[in-house]
Amino acid sequence: MRMGENHLTLNKESIIDHYEHAIEWVQSLMDVTDKEWRRAIVDGKWSMAEIIAHFVPWDEFILHDRLKEFWNNKALPQAPDVHEMNRQSAERARKEERSETIGRFIAVRTKLLQEMKKIEAPRWTTPFLIGQTELTLSSYFQGLIKHDLHHMEQIKKVLSTERR
């Protein structure tokens, strides 16, 4: 997604492209040094390990508690406590091997991608409610992609400055 395109609603293909790219990109982090993987990207911030790990419970939530429920005309479940979910995933990342963190990310992203691909095009622009907020699948995933890109940029920035 190029800058200035944020006002456009992404279509199914571009959303799926992003998710496929994210899987490849996270896979490429197997090549960073262990020091890079574990070190805070900025003082007081998370490490790469913690950033990648925190995507997992959110992808699981979308997969299990959102995607299946979007069109059954019931109120969607409220998102879990953001800080608590992030805290737990960061803690887990500090204890597990990098291959496990990356493996969990790839596994859930791949499942999510498979489910997304099954959703027919018209559904991507059908409105639904989360609380009082009206969204479409496209606008919902656009918000998630923005969040992905924010963290991907943080990591890319750290890697480019450390490797000069």
User: 72 vs 4, 39, 46, 115, CA distance in Å?
Assistant: 34, 44, 37, 17
Q: What does each of the 164 residues of the chain score in pLDDT, given as a tens digit?
A: 444 444 456 789 999 999 999 999 999 999 999 999 999 998 899 999 999 999 999 999 999 888 877 766 666 767 889 899 999 999 999 999 999 999 999 999 999 999 999 998 888 998 888 878 888 999 999 999 999 999 999 999 999 886 65
Domain boundaries, the chain: 12-162
Longest CA–CA separation in the chain, Å: 53
Give CA separation, 92 vs 50, 88, 122, in Å. 8, 6, 39
Angstrom distances, CA of residue 45 to CA of 51, 101, 103, 155: 9, 18, 23, 12
**Which CATH fold topology does 12-162 show?**
Four Helix Bundle (Hemerythrin (Met), subunit A) (1.20.120)
Residue 153's Cβ-side half-sphere holds a number of Cα atoms within 13 Å equal to 7
Distance CA 29, CA 97 (A): 13
CA distance 43 to 73: 45
